[in-house]
């Protein structure tokens, strides 16, 4: 597992997300000179990305205990050894986080597909974006019913075409436990409903089509007819949100 990797290997993992973050967050936020809160910061890829682009201060929050050595190594390698005091990683959630002030942006990458109370969590972000112009940027992928929604080393839609008894022996125990307990089954409709219920405004929405779309016609007959094609073929979402007072 990632938490067991030595510093150099974990730093490489932190660095590898730069292109992905630029693609999905770059058009939606400019970190330069801004205060940024990262939800689900894990080992710090988003913190590195923001600091490389001139963020003034970045705070990361994650339920897992914070490990900063890989991020620090990645910052030094990027020539940002003088910015090691520009970030903070806190163990917790948006519900337990203390007074850390307001932020220009809240960002979250590949986290909301794991959060079970979507609307409550979205509402908890309100105190972190108190001013006009503040924004929340979220990327979530893969959604549960997409071909890779199992988050496992399994084939397209195998979690929907094979029984649990068939699938479990092919998966390492820790991955299987995560699959069974750490995914919320979120669809795009679920997410948009949570946005609506939280009182937020959707400013933009981008869709990631499923990576295995070319196999959908072949595998669709094996999947329960009760599952909607839109949910099966929408792999991810990227969006910008705001509360009314941010407009």
Residue 112: inside a domain, yes or no?
Answer: yes
Q: Alpha-carbon distance 235 to 221, whole Å?
A: 19
Residue 218: inside a domain, yes or no?
Answer: no
Q: What is the pLDDT of residue 67?
A: 87
12 — pLDDT class (breaks 50, 70, 90)? very high
**Helical segments of 25-113, H only:** 45-52, 69-77
Give residue for tokens 């990361």.
60
Q: What is the pLDDT of residue 18?
A: 98
Q: What is the pLDDT of residue 58?
A: 98
Integer-rounded Cα radius of gyration of the chain: 19
Side-chain-side CA neighbours of 195 within 13 Å: the count stands at 24
Mean pLDDT of 43-47: 97
Residue 168: inside a domain, yes or no?
Answer: no
Residue 217: inside a domain, yes or no?
Answer: no
Query: In this structure, is the dihedral angle defined by the CA atoms of residues 116, 113, 126 and 51, taken in order, positive or negative?
Result: positive
Q: What is the pLDDT of residue 1?
A: 75
Of 239, 224, 236, the residue nearest 110 (C-alpha):
236
Residue 170: inside a domain, yes or no?
Answer: no
What angle do the packed helices 45-52 and 69-77 form, to 10 degrees? 30
Q: What is the mean pLDDT of the chain?
A: 96
83 — pLDDT class (breaks 50, 70, 90)? very high
Task: Name the β-bridge partners of 188.
Answer: none
Residue 246 near residue 127 (C-beta atoms within 8 A): no
Please list, residue by residue across 32-64, b when 16 or more beta carbons sit within 10 angstroms of its beta carbon and e when fewer do: eebbbbbbbbbbbbbbbbbbbbebebbbbbbee
Tokens, residue 85: 């005091």
Residue 90: inside a domain, yes or no?
Answer: yes
User: Which H/E stretch holds residue 235?
Assistant: strand 234-242
Residue 22: inside a domain, yes or no?
Answer: yes
Residue 125 exposed, middle or buried by CB count within 10 Å (0-12, 13-18, 19+): buried
Provide the total of helices (H) and of strands (E) in the chain, helices listed first: 11, 7
Mean pLDDT of 38-60: 97
Mean pLDDT of 84-95: 96
Mean pLDDT of 30-52: 97
Residue 108: inside a domain, yes or no?
Answer: yes
Residue 50 near residue 36 (C-beta atoms within 8 A): yes
**CATH code for position 88:** 3.40.50.150
Domain range enclosing 51: 2-143+184-212+233-246
Sheet holding 87-91, edge to edge: 87-91, 57-62, 35-39, 105-109, 135-140, 234-242, 201-209
Tokens, residue 244: 């009314």
At 177-190, the pLDDT tens digits run: 999 999 999 999 99
Q: What is the pLDDT of residue 66?
A: 78
Number of domains composing the chain: 1
Q: What is the pLDDT of residue 104?
A: 98
- N-terminal to C-terminal alpha carbon distance within the chain: 42
């Amino acid at each position: 597992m990632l938490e067991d990797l030595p510093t150099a290997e974990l730093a490489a993992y932190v660095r590898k997300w730069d292109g992905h973050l630029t693609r999905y967050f770059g058009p939606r936020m400019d970190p330069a000179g801004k205060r940024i809160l990262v939800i689900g910061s894990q080992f710090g890829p988003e913190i590195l990305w923001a600091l490389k682009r001139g963020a003034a201060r970045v705070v990361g929050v994650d339920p897992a205990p914070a490990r900063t050595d890989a991020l620090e190594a990645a910052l030094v390698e990027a020539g940002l050894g003088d910015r090691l005091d520009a970030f903070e990683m806190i163990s917790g959630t948006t519900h337990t986080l203390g007074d850390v002030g307001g932020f220009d942006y809240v960002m979250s990458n590949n986290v909301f597909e794991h959060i079970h109370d979507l609307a409550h969590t979205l509402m908890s972000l309100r105190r972190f974006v108190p001013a006009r112009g503040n924004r929340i940027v979220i990327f979530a992928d893969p959604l549960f019913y997409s071909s890779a929604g199992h988050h496992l080393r399994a084939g397209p839609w195998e979690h929907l075409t094979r029984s649990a008894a068939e699938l479990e022996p092919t998966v390492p125990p820790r991955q299987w436990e995560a699959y069974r307990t750490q995914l919320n089954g979120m669809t795009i409709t679920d997410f948009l409903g949570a946005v609506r219920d939280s009182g937020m405004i959707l400013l933009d929405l981008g869709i990631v089509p499923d990576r295995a779309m070319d196999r959908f016609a072949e595998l669709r007959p094996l999947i329960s007819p009760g599952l909607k094609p839109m949910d099966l073929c929408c792999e991810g979402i990227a969006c910008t949100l705001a509360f009314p007072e941010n407009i």
